[in-house]
Amino acid sequence: MRILGFETSCDETGIAVYDNEQGLLAHQLYSQVKLHADYGGVVPELASRDHVRKIIPLIQKTLAEAKTTAEDLDGIAYTRGPGLIGALLVGSCVARSLAFAWDLPTVGVHHMEGHLLAPMLEDEIPAFPFIALLVSGGHSMIVDVQGIGRYKVLGESIDDAAGEAFDKTAKLMGLDYPGGPLLAKLAEQGEPGHYKFPRPMTDRPGLDLSFSGLKTFAANTIRANADDPQTRANIAYAFQEAVVDTLLIKSKRALQQTGYKRVVIAGGVSANTMLRTRFDSELKKIGGAVFYPSLGLCTDNGAMIAYAGMQRLQAGQIETDNVRSLPRWPLEDLPPV
């Protein structure tokens, strides 16, 4: 089965072709970072318009790279939600229009299921069941994954997501948009032990996450200290360490609660070097294993949507004509495969 996948949930246009026998044949990704940089964040209307401009040329380029024509395809998958409604509608309309013209089935994919399954595109894949730690700019959640579509959310962010906290703290430090990766890079120059940031909600039961207070603590620390480069790097290090420690503590708690030994970490924050180093080391100590997507597939991309869509199309989960995009869509509402 060969699937064309579209990802247009926010500010990146991702297109991919995935074949269940040959693997990922091609993928293209266009980021709108420069478009939104002047505003310090994503402007939904501008995002939608840019998807309109970019999606058709990217589809053509991806199909050419994959040496694939419409006759070679068995279906089209697109991000149905969650995300920005205008951006979602661009992907939905184009996917369903092409499917109608080419007489192909379509399936709308849950954006976070795409991230959750992204490590399945790698050579070494996790066996079910496992704990999924999904950490991105818009979402942070810990999920009990017993199979595709068999999800139970054990904990999620009650305010800022981890990636959002990175970006907001970076902005407080005067870093450009998007600030999360720049803050992580600055933290590489930092020294441990200068500042002690809290590990939010780790002193109480449960697996919910909260990073808003940590961001406020960072803001107060930045205002109270000299603004020399090394101090800024030390603050960045302490902030990043607090986020990683919090995610690690909660993930280990989820493993104890479920008895599992495997953790999948996906979403944009999964590319963070400190996070990967810490999780690799700590999971090894308890006889566990951790799985990630490759760095190029950590952020939003069409490959994860094509793969997730293929799983559902193979199971016969083909959409009807009466489908709408969902800016909010609980992960637990998905049917099992």
Annotated binding-site residues for substrate read 134-138, 167, 180, 272
First to last CA, the chain: 16
Task: Please report, in range form, the residues annotated as the binding site.
Answer: 111, 115, 134-138, 167, 180, 272, 300
Q: What is the 3-state secondary structure (H, E, C) of 186-201?
A: HHCCCCCCCCCCCCCC
Angular region, 23: left φ>0, alpha ψ -120 to 50, beta rest: left
Task: Please report, in range form, the residues annotated as the binding site for Fe cation.
Answer: 111, 115, 300
Q: Please name the residues in contact with 280: beta carbons below 8 A apart, sequence gap of 6 or more.
A: 290
Q: Please name the residues in contact with 250: beta carbons below 8 A apart, sequence gap of 6 or more.
A: 133, 142, 155, 202, 207, 209
